[in-house]
Amino acid sequence: MVRVVATGKQGRKRSRRGPAIGVVAAALGMAMLPAVAVPDVAPVAKAEQPQGKVLRVAVTQDIKKLNPFQGTSLVDTQVGRLMYEFLVIPNATDSTPEGALAESWTPSQDGKTWTFKMRKGVQWSDGQPITAKDVEFTYNQIMTNPGAKDANEVAVASFESVKATDPETVEIRTKFVNVAVIGSVGEIPIVPEHVWRDKVAGIKDFKNEQTPVVGSGPYVLSGVESGRSVTLKANDKFWRGRPKVDTLQMVKYENTEAASQALIKGDADLVYNLTPAQYRTLEKTSGIKASAGRNRRFTEIIMHTGAKKADGSTWGTGNPVLADVEFRKALDHAVNRKTLIEKVFGGYAEEATQLIPPVYPDWTFKLSDDKKRNFDIGKANSILDAAGYRKGDGGARLDKQGKPITLRLLSRNDRAEQAQMAEYVKEWFGQLGVTVDHKSIASSQLNDDTTSGNFDLSFSGWSVGPDPDNMLGQQLCKLVGTELGDTNICNPEYDRLFAQQQAELNKDKRKETVQRMQQMLYDNVSAIMLSYDKLLEAYRSDRFTTFVTQPQNGGIINNQSGYWGYYGATPVGETPPAGAPKAAEQTNSDSDSSGLGTGGWAAIIIGAVVVLGGLGLLGARRKRVSADDRE
Amino acid sequence: MTTNQSPRNSPRAVAWTRRRAALGKVWREFAANKSGLFGLAALVVIVLVAVTVPLWLDREVLSVTRATGEILAPPAGDFWLGTDHAGRSVLALTLWGARISLLVGISAAILSVAIGTIVGMLSAHFRGWTAAVLMRVTDFFLVLPALVLAIVLSTMLERGVGTIILAIGVTSWPSTARLVRAQTLTIETRPYIERAHALGGGHMHVLSKHVLPAVLPLVLANTTLAVGSAIISESTLAFLGLGDASTVSWGGMLKSALDTGAVTAGAWWYLLPPGFAIVLIVLAFTLCGRALETVLNPNLRER
Query: In this complex, is the C-beta atom of B86 within 8 Å of any C-beta atom belonging to chain A?
Result: yes
Q: Tell me, what's the pLDDT at A584? A: 59
Pairing of strands A54-59, A457-463: unpaired
Examine residue B125 and state whether it is found in any structural domain, yes or no. Answer: yes
Q: Tell me, what's the pLDDT at A283? A: 93
Q: Which of A620, A314, A279, A345 is nearest to A460 (CA)?
A: A620
Among A274, A275, A429, most B C-beta atoms within 10 A, so best to mutate, is: A275
CB distance B258 to A414 below 8 Å: no
Examine residue A186 and state whether it is found in any structural domain, yes or no. Answer: yes
State whether residue B280 is helix, strand or coil.
helix
CA angle A14–A15–A20, rounded 5-degree value: 95
Q: What is the DSSP string of B14-66?
A: HHHHHHHHHHHHHHHHHHT-HHHHHHHHHHHHHHHHHHHHHHHS-GGGG-STT
CB distance B54 to B62 below 8 Å: no
CB distance B122 to B135 below 8 Å: no
Distance of CA A532 to the CA centre of its chain: 12
| Distance separating alpha carbons of residues B195 and B201, to the nearest angstrom | 9
Q: By residue range, what is the domain housing residue B264?
A: 31-302
Q: Which residues contact A493 (CB under 8 A, 6 or more apart)?
A: A520
- Cβ-Cβ pairs closer than 8 A, A with B, add up to 130
Q: What is the CATH number of the domain that holds B213?
A: 1.10.3720.10
Q: Which of A27, A34, A275 sits opposite B275 (nearest CB)?
A: A27
Q: Tell me, what's the pLDDT at B300? A: 66
Q: What is the CATH number of the domain that holds A444?
A: 3.10.105.10
* Chain A residues whose beta carbon lies within 8 Å of the beta carbon of residue B246: 426, 438
H-helix or E-strand spanning residue B96: helix B90-125
Q: Which residues contact A559 (CB under 8 A, 6 or more apart)?
A: A74, A78, A272, A295, A296, A297, A463, A535, A614, A615
Nearest chain B residue to A13, by CA: B290
Nearest chain A residue to B70, by CA: A343
* Chain A residues whose beta carbon lies within 8 Å of the beta carbon of residue B159: 439-441
CB contact under 8 A, A422 and B245: yes
| Distance separating alpha carbons of residues A76 and A72, to the nearest angstrom | 6
Please tell me the number of Cα atoms within 13 Å of A584 on its side-chain side.
24
Q: Tell me, what's the pLDDT at A271? A: 95
CA angle A362–A366–A367, rounded 5-degree value: 170
Pairing of strands A544-546, A570-571: antiparallel
H-helix or E-strand spanning residue A164: strand A159-166
Nearest chain A residue to B268, by CA: A32
Among B60, B62, B64, most A C-beta atoms within 10 A, so best to mutate, is: B64
Q: Which of A28, A279, A438 sits opposite B245 (nearest CB)?
A: A438
Spans of chain A below 50 pLDDT? 1-47, 586-631
Query: In this complex, is the C-beta atom of A426 within 8 Å of any C-beta atom belonging to chain B?
Result: yes
CA of B15, closest CA in chain A: separation in Å? 33
Residues A249 and A346 in one domain: no
| Distance separating alpha carbons of residues B219 and A355, to the nearest angstrom | 61
Residues A121 and A259 in one domain: yes
Examine residue A78 and state whether it is found in any structural domain, yes or no. Answer: yes
CB contact under 8 A, B245 and A439: yes
CB contact under 8 A, B245 and A264: no
Q: Residue A93, exposed/middle/buried by CB under 10 A (0-12, 13-18, 19+)?
A: middle
CB distance A172 to A183 below 8 Å: no
pLDDT, one tens digit per residue, over B46-65 is 999 999 999 999 888 889 88
Examine residue B195 and state whether it is found in any structural domain, yes or no. Answer: yes
| Distance separating alpha carbons of residues B256 and A257, to the nearest angstrom | 12
Q: What is the mean pLDDT of residues B152-157?
A: 85
Examine residue B17 and state whether it is found in any structural domain, yes or no. Answer: no
Among B263, B269, B287, B294, most A C-beta atoms within 10 A, so best to mutate, is: B263
CB contact under 8 A, A28 and B241: no
Strand ranges for chain B from DSSP E: none
CB contact under 8 A, A24 and B175: no
CB contact under 8 A, B236 and A23: yes
Q: Residue A372, exposed/middle/buried by CB under 10 A (0-12, 13-18, 19+)?
A: exposed
Cα separation values, A556 from A19, A188, A262, A549, B261, Å: 45, 21, 21, 5, 21
Q: Which of A9, A24, A261 sits opposite B264 (nearest CB)?
A: A261
Name the domain count of chain B.
1
Q: Which of A278, A336, A413 sits opposite B265 (nearest CB)?
A: A278
CA dihedral B164, B170, B175, B181 (to 10 degrees): 140
Q: Which of A409, A386, A387 is nearest to A458 (CA)?
A: A409
Among B155, B159, B259, most A C-beta atoms within 10 A, so best to mutate, is: B259
CB contact under 8 A, B71 and A30: no
Q: Tell me, what's the pLDDT at A51? A: 67
Interface of B with A in 173-202 (CB under 8 A): 175
Name the domain count of chain A.
2
Other Cβ atoms less than 10 A from the Cβ of B16: the count is 11
* Chain B residues whose beta carbon lies within 8 Å of the beta carbon of residue A438: 245-246
| Distance separating alpha carbons of residues A403 and A435, to the nearest angstrom | 12
Cα separation values, A222 from A45, A139, A249, Å: 15, 25, 10
Is the alpha carbon torsion for B102, B107, B108, B112 positive or negative?
A: positive
Q: Which of A485, A484, A422, A489 is nearest to A459 (CA)?
A: A422
Pairing of strands A570-571, A435-441: unpaired
CA angle B21–B23–B25, rounded 5-degree value: 70
**B284, pLDDT greater than 90:** yes
Q: Tell me, what's the pLDDT at A115? A: 95
Q: Tell me, what's the pLDDT at A42? A: 38
Residues A225 and A112 in one domain: yes
Examine residue B24 and state whether it is found in any structural domain, yes or no. Answer: no
**B33, pLDDT greater than 80:** yes
Could you check whether the bond before residue A97 is cis, i.e. omega within 30 degrees of 0? Answer: no
Q: What is the DSSP string of A585-617?
A: TT--S-SSSTTTT-HHHHHH--S---SSHHHHH
* Chain A residues whose beta carbon lies within 8 Å of the beta carbon of residue B265: 277-278, 280-281
Residues A303 and A266 in one domain: no
Examine residue B18 and state whether it is found in any structural domain, yes or no. Answer: no
Cα separation values, B24 from A600, B17, B20, B31, Å: 77, 10, 6, 10
Cα separation values, A440 from A427, B244, B245, Å: 16, 8, 7
CB distance A252 to A267 below 8 Å: no
Q: What is the DSSP string of A378-418?
A: HHHHHHHHHTT--B-GGG-BB-TTSPBPEEEEEEETT-HHH
Q: Tell me, what's the pLDDT at A46? A: 42
| Distance separating alpha carbons of residues A326 and A379, to the nearest angstrom | 12
Q: Which residues contact A515 (CB under 8 A, 6 or more apart)?
A: A365, A366
Query: In this complex, is the C-beta atom of A507 within 8 Å of any C-beta atom belonging to chain B?
Result: no
| Distance separating alpha carbons of residues A258 and A256, to the nearest angstrom | 5
Give the end of a domain, one of A524, A550, A574: A524
Examine residue B70 and state whether it is found in any structural domain, yes or no. Answer: yes
pTM comes to: 0.81
Q: Which of A473, A172, A453, A414 is nearest to A316 (CA)?
A: A453
Q: What is the CATH number of the domain that holds A269?
A: 3.40.190.10
CB distance A108 to A115 below 8 Å: yes
Cα separation values, B303 from A5, A224, B299, B300, Å: 21, 63, 9, 9
Examine residue A529 and state whether it is found in any structural domain, yes or no. Answer: no
Q: Tell me, what's the pLDDT at A370? A: 87
**Phi and psi, residue A188, nearest 5°:** -105, 110
Q: What is the mean pLDDT of residues B170-182?
A: 92
Residues A165 and A27 in one domain: yes
CB contact under 8 A, A27 and B257: no
Other Cβ atoms less than 10 A from the Cβ of A515: the count is 18
CB contact under 8 A, B232 and A20: yes
* Chain A residues whose beta carbon lies within 8 Å of the beta carbon of residue B256: 416, 419-420
CB contact under 8 A, B86 and A343: yes
* Chain A residues whose beta carbon lies within 8 Å of the beta carbon of residue B262: 277
* Chain A residues whose beta carbon lies within 8 Å of the beta carbon of residue B155: 442
Q: By residue range, what is the domain housing residue A287?
A: 4-294+534-629
Q: Tell me, what's the pLDDT at B119? A: 95
Residues A275 and A202 in one domain: yes
Q: Which of B232, B246, B261 sits opposite A260 (nearest CB)?
A: B261
| Distance separating alpha carbons of residues A428 and A474, to the nearest angstrom | 29
Give the end of a domain, one of A480, A500, A524: A524
Cα separation values, A150 from A144, A162, A401, A544, A630, Å: 12, 19, 44, 36, 12
Q: What is the mean pLDDT of residues B228-251?
A: 88
Q: Which residues contact A158 (CB under 8 A, 6 or more apart)?
A: A174, A175, A176, A178, A180, A181, A184
Other Cβ atoms less than 10 A from the Cβ of A157: the count is 13
Q: What is the mean pLDDT of residues B149-157?
A: 86
Cα separation values, A25 from A18, A19, B93, B260, Å: 10, 10, 21, 22
CB contact under 8 A, B264 and A34: yes
**Please, which residues bridge with residue A303 across strands?**
A457
Predicted ipTM?
0.81
